[in-house]
Each structure stands twice: as structure tokens, then as C-alpha cells.
Amino acid sequence: MLFDHCILPSIVSLPPYIFGCFIYVHLHPHQRTKLEERALKYFFVGYGSTQKDYYAYHSPSKKFYISMDVTFNEHSFFLC
């Protein structure tokens, strides 16, 4: 019954990118101080299932980050 009234966003509107490529996650001013970097280097692991966003993984800290404000670098890849 709930499925008749809910419209889930699709990832069709997001452009396709190569999994495992490096992405730079942009940090907003409230997430950083004045002297910290404005973007962090993660690697792309997938698309969001409920929103239009990208999943990124930072291997040194072993943390995931979910954001729509990213820049892709499809010419360099994460190697284990």
C-alpha cells in the first residue's frame, strides 16, 4: 500500500562513472576550518540507493562518506 504513494528517485539521472576511481569530496565551510583542505581524496564505491548521491571510501581512516558534491578523476584508480 505504501509503494503506491511513494516515488523513489532513480539513479538513471546520475551520469555513469568508473568504480574504484579517485574522487575529491568537497567539504563545506562548516565541515572544516580556515586552514584545512577544501577537498579530501577518496575513491568511488557506488551510488546512493535512496538519494542522488555518491558513496566514497577513505582507506587510511576506513570511513565511508556520502556526498553529491564531488569531483571525479577517472584517470587514476585505487590499487590495494
Domain coverage including residue 50: 2-77
**Rg of the chain (C-alpha set):** 15
Contact predicate 29/22, CB 8 Å = no
3-state helix, strand, coil in the chain (%, to 5): 10, 40, 50
Cβ proximity of 12 and 52 under 8 Å? no
Judge whether 28 and 39 are in contact, CB under 8 Å: no
**Per-residue confidence of the chain (80 residues) as pLDDT tens digits?**
445 555 555 545 666 676 778 888 888 888 888 898 888 888 888 887 777 788 888 888 888 888 888 888 877 776 55
Q: In this structure, how many other beta carbons lie within 10 angstroms of the beta carbon of residue 40?
A: 19
Count of domains forming the chain = 1
Check residue 15 and give its pLDDT. Answer: 64
In this prediction the pTM is: 0.63
The reported pLDDT for the residue numbered 48 is: 76
